[in-house]
Amino acid sequence: MEKKSKAKDDKEYDKKTKKDTKKKEPASLFCVNGDKDKSDSKSKKKAAKSDSDDSEPETKSSKPKSKKENANPASMFAAGGDKDKDKGKDKNKDKKKKKAKASESDDSDSEAEKGTKKKKGKGKKKKEERPPSPDIEFDSLEEFVLQPAQQGVTVKCKMTRDKRGMDKGLYPTYYLHLDNEKKVFLLAGRKRKKSTTSNYLISIDPTDLSRGGENFIGKLRSNMMGTKFTVFDNALHPDRALPDMSNARQELAAIIYETNVLGIKGPRRLTVIIPGMGKDSERVPIRPRSDNNGLLMKFQNRKMDNLIELHNKTPTWNDDTASHVLNFNGRVTQASIKNFQIIHSKDEAYIVMQFGRVADDAFTLDYSYPMCAVQAFAIALSSFDGKITCE
């Protein structure tokens, strides 16, 4: 009888944990056309493998891992793990006691170190290095920058701005590299000079930023006000495409900055629309014949079939610093109006993308599934464009 009751309890516990993981599975937020169930099972398998490859610093503040919760990729990238801590208090008292003892010894060591530093007269702390990006290998750069990030992996990049030269003060060049020891080049972008609206070319060659070049990978185009942007890939314009639109360009994202008509000071607000994810975690192609059927118009008319709506995370006000703050987990070191994090409203702990300043002309750009490098780079480029009505 005892064995049977234990078996029943185990089954009930398994069912509960499965329900919990389904609710928290970030990949399911981006699925369309009834592919949620398929993606859930696939993402669980992938996430289980990626536990060993976890390089995120915020795992320290996330919920202690249990056997069933290892399959939840959201826990790896939780920005603020306060809720998870509260849930795991009762189950992990013994672990916390051990950690408390270890932390007491660490505190005593750190206090001793502080004392020696004061005696030597060196009160300044050494700058902590940013958590680097995991090593990422790919055969084709063109394919990699257009593919969504692997589930359970955050691709960490560094974006630099080059203002040197006659025109680069007005038309700087932007470069994107992987933020690790190898510093692999990914993308370059520059604003076109003779365009009625802001138009940025994106290339996979840092020396070739021409529209007709072989290395052209996509572009970012704004409206007249500089408040709405559309990201395209490198395929043909609809007017030159086949009748079935199979070789026409895709719209990869739309970015909308909320206008500040009243002039109230505060952080920017932006909305990002991206195509949903279909079978095998592939992006649903959006190939409109005209702007009237593009992502911006679909969002305006609330025709959101096969689309995902994302927003920037609202910063919290800090009385001590008298400013709005976000937790970037050591990846951003300087305050800027351009600093932001992109999230889904149903899971604010899962950071789809984050961008922030680390030096005058250097920024970190991190992105996760379902974004690709071109989408993330273009969204970052849009933040540099002048937006008087948004300030």
Q: For residue range 128-157, what is the model confidence (pLDDT) as tens digits? A: 577 788 788 889 999 999 999 999 999 999
CA triple 293-270-352, angle to 5 deg: 90
pLDDT at site 126: 47
Place of tokens 């890939």: 233
Q: Is the pLDDT of residue 222 over 60?
A: yes
**85-96 tens-digit pLDDT:** 444 444 444 444
Q: In the chain, at which residue ranges do the beta strands (DSSP E only) sit?
A: 155-162, 173-178, 185-191, 199-203, 216-222, 228-233, 251-257, 270-275, 307-312, 316-318, 323-325, 340-344, 347-359, 362-367
pLDDT at site 1: 52
pLDDT at site 105: 42
For range 314-335, the mean pLDDT: 86
In the chain the domains, ranked by start, together with CATH numbers, are: 141-390 (3.20.90.10)
Among the ranges given (264-273, 309-318, 349-358), the one the predictor scored with the smallest mean pLDDT? 264-273
Q: Is the pLDDT of residue 108 over 70?
A: no
Distances in Å between the Cα of 149 and the Cα atoms of 68, 146, 153, 223, 282 are 24, 9, 7, 29, 11
Q: Is the pLDDT of residue 197 over 60?
A: yes
pLDDT at site 168: 65
User: Which among 309, 379, 375 is positioned nearest to 146, based on CA atoms?
Assistant: 375
CB–CB of 327/79 below 8 Å?
Answer: yes
Distance CA(162)–CA(175), nearest Å, equals 8
Distance CA(113)–CA(123), nearest Å, equals 11
Handedness of CA 295, 222, 179, 355 (dihedral sign): negative
**End-to-end Cα separation, the chain, in angstroms:** 69
Report how far Cα 4 is from the mean position of its chain's Cα atoms.
47
Higher pLDDT, 369 or 62: 369
Helix ranges (H only) for the chain are 2-24, 36-50, 82-87, 93-120, 141-146, 295-300, 373-384
List the structure tokens of 220: 């970012």
Mean pLDDT in the chain?
75
CB–CB of 254/273 below 8 Å?
Answer: yes
Q: Is the pLDDT of residue 34 over 50?
A: yes
pLDDT at site 69: 39
**53-79 tens-digit pLDDT:** 433 334 333 334 433 334 343 332 223
Distance CA(371)–CA(286), nearest Å, equals 15
Torsion of CA 33, 37, 39, 44, to 10 degrees: 170
Name the residue type at position 54.
D
Q: Is the pLDDT of residue 118 over 50?
A: no
Distance CA(275)–CA(258), nearest Å, equals 21
**Per DSSP, what are the bridge partners of residue 160?**
175, 362
